[in-house]
Structure 1
């Protein structure tokens, strides 16, 4: 899991994406969306209004979460599996966006009128990803390379090359495994 910091470096739009990915703790298997009210609680905590139909919306949101996890893992160098990418693209296509202008003439993307449930969340995620892709922060939202972690984090390192959510835990474990493998192959 990401090191705690009083100042969250994650851009506000990407916090929604990060928090959605992190509803599943891969290490423990705890899934915040699995609870009967898990999706409603997540939606409320992130300012999403509207009704979520438990069964279908939860399935769509879980597919969205896992597609985003794969996309953010790709930011560390692992390719997104074709079937996961196709599924994510299909979900995103179902959630249209509109261009909104404010009083100062600033433009932003927003979910289209009339969306409900998982489509509202998907559209908000799509708008956040689009804005982050435009300003260059999207590729800094990553998923830890550690197979037993897969926690989403924002890479604030100067070079943007972090591979683990925290060097103290996941990075150290990976380096220790590599060291032991080298020693074992050297002894053979």
Structure 2
């Protein structure tokens, strides 16, 4: 788990959703009423929220050059179900993505966040830690955009130690 600051803008929603599952401990915040409430999901929407979370994690792993460790529903297939509209402010001409009046579902909010990040050019900076026991989502603020771990002090140090020991042996 990272000590990094949250992702910018609406990407914080995506980061927060992916990070509801701690792979190392197995704790899932979506198992709690508080966790469900944070994302506006009910018991009946849990399976879809978890499916969305793991599809997002797979894409964030791809942002670091890794493939998911298990099959997931392609994120594009899930997001294609979310209606989005381009809203233009008549006063200043600014534009953004919005959901229909009744489209406040988690899927629609995530789709809007992804669309906003694509336009801003920040989507590929949201990544999942490459450590197999972690895969924590984090926003890569490194100048070159080549971050690989949620925390250099924890996951990065472990990976470097494993590589060092492999060379020694």
Unpaired runs of 5+ residues, structure 2, are none
Contact 1:75-1:141 at 8 Å conserved across structures: yes
- Helix, strand or coil at the partner of 1:113: coil
Count residues with an aligned counterpart: 168
The answer for the alignment partner of 1:89 in structure 2 is: 76
How many Å apart are 1:81 and its aligned residue? 7.7
What's the C-alpha RMSD, in Å, of the aligned pairs? 2.0
In 1, the alpha carbon distance for the partners of 2:26 and 2:120 equals: 34
In 2, the alpha carbon distance for the partners of 1:30 and 1:80 equals: 20
Unpaired runs of 5+ residues, structure 1, are none
CA deviation profile, 1:146-172 (whole Å, cap 9, x unmatched): 011111111000000010011111001
The answer for the alignment partner of 1:54 in structure 2 is: 43
In 1, the alpha carbon distance for the partners of 2:6 and 2:58 equals: 22
How many Å apart are 1:59 and its aligned residue? 0.5
In 2, the alpha carbon distance for the partners of 1:164 and 1:122 equals: 27
The answer for the alignment partner of 2:111 in structure 1 is: 126
Structure whose CA Rg is larger: 1
CA deviation profile, 1:59-96 (whole Å, cap 9, x unmatched): 1011101110110111110145895253x223212211
In 1, the alpha carbon distance for the partners of 2:81 and 2:101 equals: 13
- Which of 87, 104, 123 lines up with 2:92 in the alignment? 104
